[in-house]
Amino acid sequence: MQKEFEKFKDSTIFEGMTSIRALLSARDSGSNDRKILEILYDTSRSSKIAKELRFLTRIGERDSFSVTGLTAAELAELTLGNTHGGIIARCSNRTILDLATESRSIEKNGFYVLMEGIEDPYNFGYALRSLYACGATGIILPERNWMSAAGVVARSSAGASELFPIYQSSTETALSVFKALNYKIVCADIDTENLLPDTDLSLPLLLIVGGEKRGISRSVLDQADTVVKIPYGRDFRGALSAASATTILAYEILRQNR
């Protein structure tokens, strides 16, 4: 656990080709400014990953990063899991945009998501994966967030975390910015009669997602245009995981705006 904690604090090691391909796609699209500094691979797997190594060597010549072999033990010291397939990337940090100063980049008819209080980087990554698949435009995060554990989040989000524009903002500032842009503010809470499938979720829309333990504060709920609840199939007062709830909410928004 201590090994994981240390790497969660500051993780810019991206594990596996799914994360690395997302980094390359983000570079090509301009969605963020993170750079690959070095590719490291397990030399005992060289023959199995020869195609990937040729591809990355070619890209490295273009983007000025090296491709270096390590022993399996040396690679294990840098990684959290064993699903990296023998290839990892050491990367720079990325710029997280400040919403207050970059509000002009917000799309006029977008689907943005403000995420606060998610206490696990894997749950955070799973939620980002669903949001990307459902067409969310961008993500708003508080100052303290799991993007410091970028490699872990990239792995759990299947690279989606690198493909989003990500902004940093207090909740109050985000509400002010999006209200000024005539966005509908939508929160989910169990104490409402508004059922998700029966609620108008047309764009532009800011969805606010809270963590399982603390949820969304009353002051934020009071400022929402709409508060909805996910209908259950039986009497159950428990909260869904943040990732599960986010997936259901995002898919309904996708369904209504296709």
238 has pLDDT over 60: yes
3 has pLDDT over 60: no
2 has pLDDT over 50: no
4 has pLDDT over 60: no
DSSP letters of 31-84? S----EEEEEEEGGGTTTTHHHHHHHHHHHHHHT-EEEEE-HHHHHTT-S-S-S
Tokens of 75: 């690679």
Please give the domain boundaries of the chain with CATH numbers for all domains: 2-91 (3.30.1330), 97-257 (3.40.1280.10)
What size, in residues, is the chain? 258
Please name the amino acid found at residue 83: T
- Average pLDDT of the chain to the nearest whole number: 90
**Cα Rg, the chain, nearest whole Å:** 20
Q: pLDDT by residue (tens digit) across 140-198?
A: 998 777 777 888 889 899 999 999 999 999 999 999 999 999 999 999 888 889 999 99
